[in-house]
Amino acid sequence: MSETIKHHLTDDLLMAYAAGALPEAFDLMVATHLSLCDHCRARAESFDAVGGCVLQDQDDGAAVSDNSLAATMALIAKGAPTTQPARPKCSVLPTPLQDYVGGDVNAIRWRSIGMGVKQAILPTTREATARLLFIPAGAAVPDHSHNGIELTMVLQGAFSDEVDHFARGDVEIADESLHHTPTADISEDCICLAVTDAPLKFSKLMPRLFQPFLRI
């Protein structure tokens, strides 16, 4: 999969993820992309390593007993066994998303937002919003710009806009400077994960009127 991914996460996002400084919705986006992208996963692991070194070099004077590791492992061994639900062999949703949805695409409760486009808002903290988008083949999302940051990752199919072409695993990073009209490829319906930290800015009247009800 990584060999086909052309659009990756930035170092700033990966460092914030490693530091635990992102809203839950953005954490979900990063985890989902890392599950498909070896390149970004290796970069994220390097930032984790740097953070570990920083913590190791800090001398806060806290004493740790010699048997603390053994005691911790013993507690883990005494814990209740856990079971992992069976995963579909050919799934659209990567594992981090399946945990949120409770399955693959057949478990998603879609809600129509017009012109054949559907969405499913995922439960996350209120600092940012995460949603799954279904865009029929050849259809377009209404043209818009942004009040903040929008990350969009393709899970099925592909879409194009004024920036480039985005296929499975690719992440488009949009900010206030980008005005675009994402359009799904004609060959296949497009499913995306999109996260935002502020409402979108739609150009046309109808999307603006329905925006409060659709939480976009």
**Per-residue pLDDT at 86 exceeds 80:** no
Q: Residue 72, SS3? A: helix
Dump strand ranges (E) for the chain: 111-114, 117-122, 129-135, 144-146, 150-156, 158-160, 165-167, 171-174, 183-184, 190-196, 200-202
Comparing 52-56, 82-86, 150-154, 188-192, which segment has the lowest mean pLDDT? 52-56
Q: How far is CA 49 from CA 10, 62, 86, in A?
A: 17, 21, 32
Structure tokens at 193: 């994960």
- The pLDDT assigned to 30 comes to 98
Mean pLDDT of 103-112: 94
**Per-residue pLDDT at 214 exceeds 80:** no
Phi-psi sector, 175: left (phi>0), alpha (psi -120 to 50), beta: beta
Structure tokens at 142: 């209404």
Q: Which domains does the chain possess?
A: 2-57 (1.10.10.1320), 95-214 (2.60.120.10)
Comparing 62-71, 120-129, 132-141, 171-180, which segment has the lowest mean pLDDT? 62-71
- The pLDDT assigned to 57 comes to 58
The pTM (predicted TM-score) of the whole model is: 0.83
- 148: CB partners within 8 A, 6+ apart: 175, 176, 196, 197, 198
Give the tens place of pLDDT for each residue, 15-27. Answer: 999 999 999 999 9
- The pLDDT assigned to 92 comes to 94
Binned at pLDDT 50, 70 and 90, residue 60 comes out as low
- The pLDDT assigned to 77 comes to 82
Q: What is the mean pLDDT of the chain?
A: 88
198: Cα separation from own chain's centroid: 16
- The kind and range of the H/E element at 211 are helix 205-214
